[in-house]
């Protein structure tokens, strides 16, 4: 054995200590396989996916017969292969036609979704789409259209068929290399085209059929907003039906800055509060009637009825990804109660995570999945440690208050890195805002929402809605007050692609691993924090239309345009951790900046028609495609990169990084690869 002789028994003891505590690692292994699929630069073949699925099955059978060492290791590989195959299968199942050209003309379809765009425009999602002079086989299954201009005559109704004249095109790629991939997001939403209209929307058929739940949801939303006008009513509609179209941009911004935006989305908090209220109400009801409560399994029956209420809430709220994930978690918890198992355990969380990953593996990449499970794992772990250690949270009368404080602090700490990475900001006073708002959601707002729904058929829902209004006004007031405080929003630079995985794996090792060696999980966490602090931002970014250019200066990124490409510009500045406005970024621009950074800009067809000479530049940006095209350019042009509208359609956005005294060019396609969602 040599040097291993004194060490091996310790390693074996650490490994054997994990017996009975390995199940929570099941979704971790599956998630690693899912992440591997999405990290590939080339789409695997269908045969490779089937091979991974078959390999996972074979390894699982072998693992069932494996020993203490080989069994868990075989399970780990099997789960990774299964996650990889699940993600690939899901990507193929949602496949549909993607519009490969710019379309302008009549668009006909049925309304299946209503929300608001980043520019605060009402937005419709249509299915059963018909486009003029377009083969049905090439027509997208769904399109999303933002409504601009005067649409005061039009009130969208669920399920009705409409016609409009719109500009459509394929979903755009990342606004910068390595950024959020909207093409991938749209693929899994089955959106084959996005666009806008400035002409009035016309109603063709108010009863196009189907969408019964959607119609009920929108009818309830409009009813609630008629009872409670203004942003309070819009807030109530958002948490009762998932319809956020009535919320203004200023309200959304205040909620984000105060870290209260999670109260708007129907997620684990809302589903948990509703299920908990229904469960407690039925238990009290059964206890109040001993003749029934003593003869029936009151606890199990209450859990079942709470599960039915949660299922109804899921259907009524539209069943989006966040709500489905929340329902799965609540269903697992209530199922544990009915089976007389511990409801709040890491095993229950692992089951919920596996169900979500099996149904929607792409959810792993979204902030909703990451934040909800980060908060849940953190809460279960911390309160589990407190329970096992026998620590009482002070006197009985003080325990609810301390529980709320600890819950808010733990959930805030667990979700803060994820929120900062995805939204490029840290809510400095978020804990304060949550401490004075979340308890009110539990004791006033959600119970009132349940009562309002029950009283609606009697026409007495206004009583509960008025009570609900008191809580919502308080929360909105807190959001506006906190958002107005100096330093409420701290900009955060975007991390590199390895930061969040390192933080997540390190934190999971600390929570899930048994024994003192769990402290080793701090190593990847420290490495992730270091990499985040050393995150490199591009010296220059070019949008995929070549119209917008951003160059880094000593005072921040300078933009060459004061208007146009607002979403792209906002994302660049946020990823830089720069709180400057678009106008302030434009004031940093000067014509000499591009030349100083080795870039020449040729505007107009006349300039593009002349011979293209590098003349010391590293990148030449041309607003029109030159003749001859870059691929047949003279030999002297090989010393620099040449970018035209044609090349940008293939490469996507560009980024230049400082590489010593030289510049390194990275394209969006270099990092996203050739995948199903960008190869249509």
**Structure confidence by residue, pLDDT tens digits, 81-109:** 999 999 999 999 999 999 988 999 999 99
Is 227 domain-assigned?
no
Residues 480 and 368 in one domain: yes
Euclidean distance between CA atoms 407 and 375, whole angstroms: 9
Confidence (pTM): 0.87
- 8 A C-beta contact, residue 271 and residue 330: yes
Asked if residue 603 belongs to a domain, the reply is yes
If asked whether residues 587 and 668 sit together in one domain, one would say yes
Mean residue pLDDT across the chain: 85
**342 vs 164: CA distance, rounded Å:** 54
> Do 411 and 346 share a domain, yes or no?
yes
Does residue 485 sit in the same domain as residue 547?
no
- State the DSSP string of 533-595: HT----SEEE-TTSS-EEEEETTEEEES-SSS-HHHHHHHHHHTT----HHHHHHT--HHHHH
Tell me if 272 sits within 8 A of 309, measured CB to CB. no
Do residues 576 and 503 both lie within one domain? Answer: no
Assigned domain for 46 exists: yes
- Residue 244 inside a domain? The answer is no
298-335 in b/e form (b: 16+ CB < 10 A) is: bbebbbbbbbebbeebbbbbbbbbbbbbbbbbbbbbbb
Residue 275 belongs to some domain of the structure: yes
How large is the C-alpha radius of gyration of the chain?
27
Residue 238 lies in a domain: no
Q: Which residue has the tokens 């510049």?
A: 663
Residue 446's pLDDT is what?
Answer: 83
Nearest to 90, CA basis, from 119, 53, 57, 62: 53
The answer to whether residues 182 and 145 belong to one domain is: yes
Separation CA 298–CA 304 (nearest Å): 10
DSSP-based three-state secondary structure for 338: helix
Position 313 scores a pLDDT of 81
CATH code, domain with 186: 2.40.50
**Pair (451, 466) in one structural domain:** yes
Cα dihedral value 238, 241, 246, 249, nearest 10: 30
64 exposed, middle or buried (CB, 10 Å; 0-12, 13-18, 19+)?
exposed
Choose one of 428, 463, 491: the last residue of a domain: 491
For residues 66 and 126, membership in a common domain is answered with no
Six-digit token string for 338: 């009915």
| Integer Cα distance of 382 and 262 in angstroms | 21
Q: Are residues 387 and 442 in the same domain?
A: yes
* Contact yes or no for 100/128 (Cβ under 8 A): no
Contact criterion met (CB below 8 Å) for 251 and 260: no
Domain containing 182 equals: 103-210
367-423: pLDDT as tens digits: 888 888 888 888 888 888 887 777 776 677 677 777 777 887 888 888 889 989 998
Is residue 206 domain-shared with residue 267, that is, in the same domain? Answer: no
Domain count, the chain: 5
Q: Considering the domain boundaries, does residue 237 fall inside one?
A: no
651 close to 668: Cβ distance less than 8 angstroms: yes
In a domain, 60, yes or no: yes
Considering the domain architecture, whether residues 392 and 448 belong to the same structural domain is answered as yes
CA distances from residue 501 to 89, 118, 506 in whole angstroms, order as listed: 23, 28, 8
Q: For residue 636, what pLDDT is reported?
A: 38
d(CA 352, CA 371): 14
Of 66, 93, 120, which closes a domain? Answer: 93
pLDDT < 50: residue spans in the chain:
1, 631-637
**Number of helical H runs and strand E runs in the chain:** 27, 16
pLDDT at 634: 36
pLDDT of residue 207: 65
Is the same domain home to 358 and 462? yes
> What tokens were used for 402?
């301390």
Last residue of a domain, one of 67, 93, 119: 93
Residue environment code for 381-412, b if the CB has 16+ CB neighbours within 10 A, otherwise e:
bbbeeeeeeeeeeeeeeeeeeeebeebbebbb
């Amino acid at each position: 054995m040599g040097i291993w002789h004194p060490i091996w028994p310790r390693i074996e003891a650490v490994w054997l200590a994990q017996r009975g505590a390995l199940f929570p690692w099941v979704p971790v292994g599956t998630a690693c396989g899912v992440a591997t699929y999405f990290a590939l630069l080339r789409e695997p073949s269908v045969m490779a996916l089937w091979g991974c699925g078959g390999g996972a099955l074979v390894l699982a059978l072998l693992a069932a017969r494996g020993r203490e060492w080989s069994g868990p290791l075989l399970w780990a590989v099997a789960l990774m292969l299964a996650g990889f195959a699940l993600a690939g299968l899901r990507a193929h199942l949602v496949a549909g036609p993607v519009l490969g050209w710019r379309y302008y003309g009549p668009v006909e379809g049925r309304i299946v979704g209503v929300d608001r765009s980043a520019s605060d425009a009402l937005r419709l999602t249509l299915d059963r789409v018909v486009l003029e002079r377009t083969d049905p086989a090439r027509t997208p299954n769904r399109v999303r259209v933002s409504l601009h201009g005067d649409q005061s005559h039009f009130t969208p109704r669920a399920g009705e068929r409409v016609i409009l004249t719109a500009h459509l095109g394929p979903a755009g790629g990342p606004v910068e290399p390595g950024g959020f991939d909207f093409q991938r997001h749209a693929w899994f939403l089955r959106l084959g085209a996005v666009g806008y209209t400035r002409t009035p929307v016309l109603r063709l058929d108010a009863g196009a059929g189907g969408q019964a739940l959607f119609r009920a949801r929108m009818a309830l939303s409009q009813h609630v907003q008629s009872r409670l006008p203004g942003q309070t009513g819009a807030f109530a509609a958002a948490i009762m039906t998932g319809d956020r179209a009535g919320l203004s941009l200023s309200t959304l911004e205040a909620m984000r800055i105060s870290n209260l935006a999670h109260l708007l989305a129907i997620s684990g908090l809302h589903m948990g509060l509703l299920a908990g209220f229904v469960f407690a109400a039925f238990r009290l009801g059964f206890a109040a009637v001993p003749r029934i409560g003593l003869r029936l399994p009151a606890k199990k029956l209450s859990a079942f009825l709470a599960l039915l209420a949660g299922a109804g809430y899921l259907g009524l709220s539209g069943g989006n990804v966040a709500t489905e994930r929340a329902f799965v978690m609540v269903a697992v918890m209530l199922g544990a109660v009915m089976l007389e198992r511990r409801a709040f355990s890491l095993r229950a969380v692992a089951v919920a995570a596996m169900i979500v990953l099996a149904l929607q593996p792409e959810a792993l990449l979204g902030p909703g999945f990451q934040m909800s499970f980060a908060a849940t794992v953190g809460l279960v772990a911390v309160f589990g440690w407190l329970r096992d250690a026998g620590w009482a949270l002070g006197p009985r009368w003080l325990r609810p208050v301390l529980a709320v404080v600890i819950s808010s602090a733990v959930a805030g700490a667990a979700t803060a890195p994820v929120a900062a990475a995805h939204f490029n900001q840290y809510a400095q006073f978020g804990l304060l805002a949550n401490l004075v708002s979340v308890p009110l959601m539990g004791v006033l707002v959600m119970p009132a929402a349940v009562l309002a729904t029950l009283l609606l058929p009697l026409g007495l829902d206004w009583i509960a809605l008025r009570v609900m209004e008191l809580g919502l006004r308080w929360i909105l007031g807190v959001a506006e007050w906190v958002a107005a405080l100096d330093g409420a929003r701290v900009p955060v630079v975007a991390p590199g692609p390895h930061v969040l995985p390192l933080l997540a794996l390190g934190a999971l090792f600390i929570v899930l691993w048994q024994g003192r060696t769990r402290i080793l999980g701090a190593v990847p966490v420290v490495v992730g924090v270091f990499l985040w602090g050393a995150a490199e931002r591009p010296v220059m970014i070019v949008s995929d239309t070549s119209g917008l250019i951003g160059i880094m200066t000593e005072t921040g990124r300078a933009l060459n345009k004061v208007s146009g490409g607002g979403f792209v510009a906002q994302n660049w500045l946020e990823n830089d951790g720069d709180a400057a406005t678009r106008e302030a970024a434009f004031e940093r621009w000067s014509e000499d900046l591009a030349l100083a950074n080795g870039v020449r800009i040729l505007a107009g067809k006349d300039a593009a028609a002349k011979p293209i000479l590098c003349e010391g530049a590293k990148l030449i940006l041309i607003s029109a495609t030159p003749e001859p095209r870059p691929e047949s350019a003279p030999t002297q042009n090989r010393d620099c990169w040449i970018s035209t509208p044609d090349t940008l359609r293939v490469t996507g956005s560009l980024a230049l990084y400082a590489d010593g005294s030289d510049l390194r060019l990275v394209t969006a396609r270099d990092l996203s690869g050739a995948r199903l969602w960008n190869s249509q």
